[in-house]
């Protein structure tokens, strides 16, 4: 891979110091050498980031970008991410589902703001003569379904383990709302497979940076649905590209603990 051939900053410094005859030369030469080293390192980091991003398909890259940007409320970049997703082949209803699901993790204000951005993007594309595919519509819950048990069943798929019904919790209704609403009303709607939903969730939680216990849990759930370690690295690369080094570094540290626990 490209980034395996790149030199680290310490190695670049080592090369710089390797030639003692060069070190005492004029200040301008030293500055030039330092600039060359910095440029090489930047090029290597860019190549590494692009390679890691390519662990994801264009659709997955868009899912990650949309979820992360919606979570932090960066509406300007979000508009471009929605357009990127549509161009990559995501349907209107798939993007609606990603946006709707996020309210459970980031709150209604972020969800509603993101929905407004998506609506405007679709209007602008339609004015340009671009008619995006609507895609499959959400499905209703089975008639007479026990929403708690349905949600528990979906959550058991995600955690790859059986779960007790109505376990004692400090605020008891948090368990009820979690099972009946998030993992039944939302996750049972179809449109998106669990893998895509979890990739969106991981991206959103990682963007927030302040919910590492939940991020750790959902990274595990994502991998239980088929997300690979390489795809996780791809999500982190998207975070770095869209939001900068800090959330990406935090997510990388959480991922280390998840991978270590799964060995």
What is the C-alpha to C-alpha distance for residues 134 and 11, in angstroms, rounded to an integer? Answer: 51
CA dihedral 181, 69, 221, 178 (to 10 degrees): -20
Decide if pLDDT at 136 tops 50: yes
What is the C-alpha to C-alpha distance for residues 131 and 2, in angstroms, rounded to an integer? Answer: 38
Decide if pLDDT at 224 tops 60: yes
CA dihedral 241, 244, 247, 253 (to 10 degrees): 80
Decide if pLDDT at 247 tops 50: yes
DSSP codes of every residue in 120-149: HHHHHHHHTT------PPPPPPPTT--HHH
Task: Give ∠ CA 191-63-111 in degrees, rounded to 5.
Answer: 80
At the topology level, CATH places domain 58-138+190-261 in AhpD-like (1.20.1290)
Q: Is 48 left (phi over 0), alpha (psi -120 to 50) or beta?
A: alpha
Q: How confident is the model at residue 142 (pLDDT cuts 50, 70, 90)?
A: confident
* pLDDT value of position 30: 53
Decide if pLDDT at 4 tops 50: no
* pLDDT value of position 5: 43
Decide if pLDDT at 26 tops 90: no
Mean predicted lDDT score pLDDT of the chain: 85
Q: What is the mean pLDDT of residues 69-88?
A: 96
Of 205, 206, 211, 214, the closest CA to residue 251 belongs to 206
Q: What is the mean pLDDT of residues 181-196?
A: 92
Q: What is the mean pLDDT of residues 134-160?
A: 91
């Amino acid at each position: 891979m490209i980034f395996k051939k790149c030199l680290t900053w310490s190695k670049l410094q080592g090369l710089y110091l390797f030639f003692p005859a060069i070190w005492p030369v004029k200040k301008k030469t030293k500055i030039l050498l330092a600039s060359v080293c910095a440029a090489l390192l930047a090029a290597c980091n860019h190549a590494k980031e692009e390679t890691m991003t390519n662990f994801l398909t264009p659709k997955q890259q868009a899912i990650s970008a949309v979820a992360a940007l919606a979570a932090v409320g960066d509406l300007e970049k979000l508009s471009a991410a929605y357009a990127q997703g549509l161009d990559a082949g995501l349907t209107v209803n798939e993007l609606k589902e990603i946006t709707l699901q996020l309210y459970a993790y980031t709150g209604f204000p972020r969800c509603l703001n993101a929905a407004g951005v998506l609506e405007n993007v679709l209007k602008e594309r339609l004015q340009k003569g671009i008619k995006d595919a609507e895609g499959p519509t959400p499905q209703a819950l089975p008639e007479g379904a026990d929403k708690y048990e349905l949600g528990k069943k979906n959550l058991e798929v995600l955690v790859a383990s059986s779960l007790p019904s109505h376990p004692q919790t400090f605020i008891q209704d948090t368990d009820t709302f979690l099972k009946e609403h998030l993992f039944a009303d939302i996750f049972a709607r179809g449109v998106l497979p669990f893998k895509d939903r979890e990739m969106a969730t991981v991206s959103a939680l990682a963007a927030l940076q302040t919910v590492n216990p939940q991020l750790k849990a959902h990274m595990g759930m994502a991998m239980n649905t088929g997300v690979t370690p390489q795809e996780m690295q791809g999500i982190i690369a998207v975070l770095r590209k869209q939001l900068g080094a800090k959330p990406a570094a935090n997510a990388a540290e959480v991922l280390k603990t998840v991978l270590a626990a799964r060995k």
